[in-house]
Amino acid sequence: VLTCGAEPLFFLDYVAANRIELEQVAELVEGAAEVCRDAGCALIGGETAELPGIYREDELDFAGTCVGIVGRERLIDGSRIEAGDAVVGMPSAGVHANGFTLVRRILQLEDYDGDDLLAPTRLYLDDVRELRERADVRGLAHVTGSGILGNLARVLPEGLRAELDWSSWERPPVFEWLARHVDEDELRGVFNLGVGYIAVVPDPGDALVIGTIVRA
């Protein structure tokens, strides 16, 4: 929703489990409601499903759908990105929600007790709103699986690529721990490495610039 320039309107959640525990569901819904309040988005309903034939005991699936609205003239789809535009990075809180198959494997080799391993994924709504007030935002990308370059490539027009300065920001400590067991190329292809959201703008002002758009 945010990545295409839209404002969130409402959210619906979904909980499925081997056996529905009402207290657990209530805690999840309360958490979703808190996030929706922070985003100015209404939690208007949801669904629960008890599926013992699909989920193992103590296994749970929690998901949701968000609907937003954007005027055609405010749509952000990356089509206006040009060579020379700046890549702006917004800090992550840690690993966020991607790469945990690899993280679990590394935890078998070495423990890690820092808060940034399980820190909740940041909401970037206010950051993007503020940036749009002072800059011509031409592209947005949420850094999930496939890392910074992989997600940014999805919004770049053909013939363009991003050239990043990987030393232009500080990585949270959890990535130093991961780097003891994973080479740099794999780290860049799996994790956000401290940048959870990206914007492409022609004039970044005082925003954190982590790279430049160049011709491929």
Look at the chain and count its residues.
Answer: 216
Confidence of residue 176 (pLDDT cuts 50, 70, 90): very high
pLDDT of amino acid 17: 96
Q: Domain ranges for the chain, please list them.
A: 2-74, 86-215
Confidence of residue 129 (pLDDT cuts 50, 70, 90): very high
Average pLDDT of 97-114?
96
User: Which positions ≥6 away from 114 have C-beta within 8 Å?
Assistant: 94, 172, 173, 174, 177
pLDDT of amino acid 59: 92
pLDDT of amino acid 153: 96
pTM, to two decimals: 0.92
Q: How far apart are CA 29 and CA 42, in angstroms?
A: 12
Residue in 149, 146, 166 with CA at minimum distance from that of residue 200 = 149
**Average predicted confidence (pLDDT) for the chain:** 96
pLDDT of amino acid 127: 97
157-175: pLDDT as tens digits: 999 999 999 999 999 999 9
192-211: pLDDT as tens digits: 999 999 999 999 999 999 99
- The top-level CATH class assigned to 86-215 is alpha beta
Q: Which CATH architecture has domain 2-74?
A: 2-Layer Sandwich (3.30)
- % the chain with pLDDT above 90: 99
pLDDT of amino acid 85: 99
DSSP secondary structure, 5-27, as one string: TPEEEEEEEEEEESS--HHHHHH
14-71: pLDDT as tens digits: 999 999 999 999 999 999 999 999 999 999 999 999 999 999 998 999 999 999 999 9
pLDDT of amino acid 175: 98
Whether 32 and 43 have beta carbons less than 8 Å apart is answered as yes
pLDDT of amino acid 107: 98
